[in-house]
Amino acid sequence: MSLRVAIRDRLLSRPAVLVAHAVGLVVLSRLLTPTDFGLFALAAVGYWIAVALADLGLKSLLLKETHLDPRRHGEAVGLALVSAVVVSGAFAAIAFVLPDSVAPPAMDLALWVLAASILMGPLDLLFNIPLMQSMRFGLISVVNVIGAWTRCGVSILAALYDAGPAALAAGLLAEQIVSFGLFAAARRQERIPAPRLTGWSTLIADGGRLSATQVVRYLGDLSMMSAISAFLGVATLGIYNRANQVVKLFDSVFLASLSPVVLPAFAQAVDKGHAPAAIYLKKVELLSALIWPAFATIALMADPLCRVVLGPGWPTAPVIVQLLALMGITKPLTNMSQSLFVALGELRLGARLDVQHHIIRGALASLGALISLEAVCLGLFIAQVINGARQTRAFGRSTDYAYGDMRSLLMKSALLTVFTVGPAALALYALQSTHALLELAVGGAAAMAGFVIAATLMQHTLFFEARKAFRAIPWERLRRG
């Protein structure tokens, strides 16, 4: 399967995933309290630290390879199985001995469910990695849609039975079980590798740095969330969590859909001899053209968006959504950069920058927690700006891209943003309505129309990529089916 078809399949599946995420966000925000979300946020960041430890960077190592060696695959699966059992057991033991002042009783069930979820990691290496290597993203997209709706339904059902934070954990575990079951059933004639007990030292040495980077990232998140919880309250952490989820709705549509494709795509591009500078500039061009208009629109419509998605019980969320949306300014420079560093053979440089960023991020956000949640968001924004500047310089040295080309493509994306937000702002001003759903519909339609018209008239790269993807859709086969 070609890269363009893989990306097309991923994007076409995202509306169904977005609806599942949106339904879950809308319903759960009305069934659970800010405290429930705050407690789950603390449990979840501990879970992600455990997942990073258990993963040992094996997934990224295998995806970096253009051809999956069965022996190496079996060694990775064997190591992942042992690592998952050890880390899951340690996670459960720590959860059992934590005092109530650190982990209130309401968190207990969520922690136990998350401990079980850690055991699902090896199945990702066993079933999902071969599918990603062979670019079978049509199948992966279908499974992701089913998994998203499973998570949504199970979480809502558990919340209706007063499961509290555990409702969110139960949805995550149910999604993993269903997804891996479908991946296992959908395998063609691919041979399932037998777990091997050899070759682990090389895998640990190669993947340890990736794993350590992930652990530091989540430790930074843990320090920030612990500071918010300690100084501003668990309910305030819940408000931050929900506001962050509103902003991440865009990630759920586009960026998350592309993430499984990115590392194989970068690895293939480098393997085929494409210039690193061209790869980097294309990444920045496409991301800035998508992220800047989207995040600017989210900031503009934060109030009706929060009233529709979160409901009336979250009056302080819109300001936090607007502040978090500011970070979209630097996201084109930083998103997907780790995958590109890996593909370019600059793993050490990428890991060092990422570790330093999350240390700075955690420190600035924790300091902000001494003042207010708005100060936390400002600290996150400053850290993101610093990270964007440092990564831009690093890629300048690694790829030797032309700064003039960078300025030109960023100016195009800025112009595209203006033509997206401008019509939305004018439409909301002319509407003068207090009906949140109507404001959201009118503003969103105006923004989308402005974006499409501007991209077409500017003959932006997005226009040509969308046209190629549209033409690649097998319309005749669909009509026959």
Q: Are 317 and 182 within one domain? A: no
Rg (CA), the chain: 22
Asked if residue 324 and residue 425 are part of one domain, the reply reads: yes
Residue at 268 is within a domain: no
| Full pLDDT tens readout for the chain, 481 residues | 444 555 555 555 566 777 888 899 889 999 999 999 999 999 999 999 998 888 877 676 666 666 666 777 777 778 888 888 888 999 888 888 888 777 788 888 999 999 999 988 777 766 666 666 555 556 677 788 888 899 999 999 999 999 999 999 999 999 989 988 887 777 655 566 777 777 677 777 766 667 777 788 888 888 899 999 999 999 999 999 999 988 887 665 555 555 544 445 555 555 666 677 887 888 888 888 888 998 999 999 999 999 988 888 888 999 999 999 988 888 888 877 777 777 677 777 887 888 889 889 989 999 999 999 999 999 999 999 999 999 998 888 888 888 888 899 899 999 999 999 999 999 998 887 778 889 989 999 999 999 989 988 887 776 666 666 555 555 455 455 4
Query: Are 38 and 123 found together in one domain?
Result: yes
Q: Are residues 293 and 204 in the same domain?
A: no
Q: Provide the angle, in degrees to the nearest 10, between the axes of the packed helices 347-369 and 373-399.
A: 160
Q: Point out the domain boundary residue: 196, 221, 246.
A: 221
pLDDT at site 137:
57
Q: What is the DSSP letter of 327?
A: G
Is there a single domain that holds both residue 383 and residue 448?
yes
Q: Are 38 and 164 in contact (CB under 8 A)?
A: no
Burial class (CB in 10 A: 0-12, 13-18, 19+), 78: buried
343 assigned to some structural domain: yes
- Positive or negative, the CA dihedral 177, 335, 110, 58 is positive
Residues 164 and 307 placed together within one structural domain of the fold: no
d(CA 15, CA 12): 7
- Token look-up 């970070």 returns 327
Residue 291 within any structural domain of the chain: yes
Residues 353 and 296: beta-carbon distance below 8 Å:
no
Q: Does residue 7 sit in the same domain as residue 98?
A: yes
Question: Is residue 251 domain-resident?
Answer: no
Domain count of the fold of the chain: 2
By C-alpha distance, which of 327, 271, 290 is closest to 3?
A: 271
Q: Write out the residue range of the structural domain in which residue 132 sits.
A: 1-221
Dist. CA 296–CA 194, nearest whole Å: 49
CA dihedral 458, 462, 466, 472 (to 10 degrees): 120
Tokens of 85: 């059992």
CB atoms within 10 A of CB 429: 8
Same domain, yes or no, for 216 and 309?
A: no
Asked if the structure places residue 241 within a domain, the reply is no
Tell me what pLDDT residue 83 has.
85
Q: Which two tokens stand for residue 142?
A: 């279908």
Tell me whether residue 471 is in a domain.
Answer: yes
Number of CB atoms found within 10 A of residue 91's CB: 24
Domain end position, chosen among 153, 187, 221: 221
Asked if 197 and 56 sit in the same domain, the reply is yes
Q: Are residues 329 and 214 in the same domain?
A: no
d(CA 355, CA 340): 16
- Say if residue 53 is in the same domain as residue 180: yes
- State both tokens at 397: 């040295």
* 246 part of a folded domain: no
Torsion sign, CA atoms 246, 251, 254, 256: negative
Q: Give the contacts of 440 (CB within 8 A, at least 6 positions apart).
A: 301, 304, 305, 308
Q: Within a domain: residue 269?
A: no
CA-to-CA separations, 232 to 107, 134, 367, 407, 427, in angstroms, rounded: 19, 48, 12, 41, 37
Tell me the three-class secondary structure of 357-417, residue by residue.
HHHHHHHHHHHHHCCCHHHHHHHHHHHHHHHHHHHHHHHHHHHCCCHHHHHHHHHHHHHHH
Among 180, 199, 221, the domain boundary falls at: 221
Which tokens is 280 given? Answer: 């980097």
Token pair for 391: 């990564």
Assess whether 324 and 200 both reside in one domain. Answer: no
**Residue 424 near residue 450, CB atoms below 8 Å:** yes
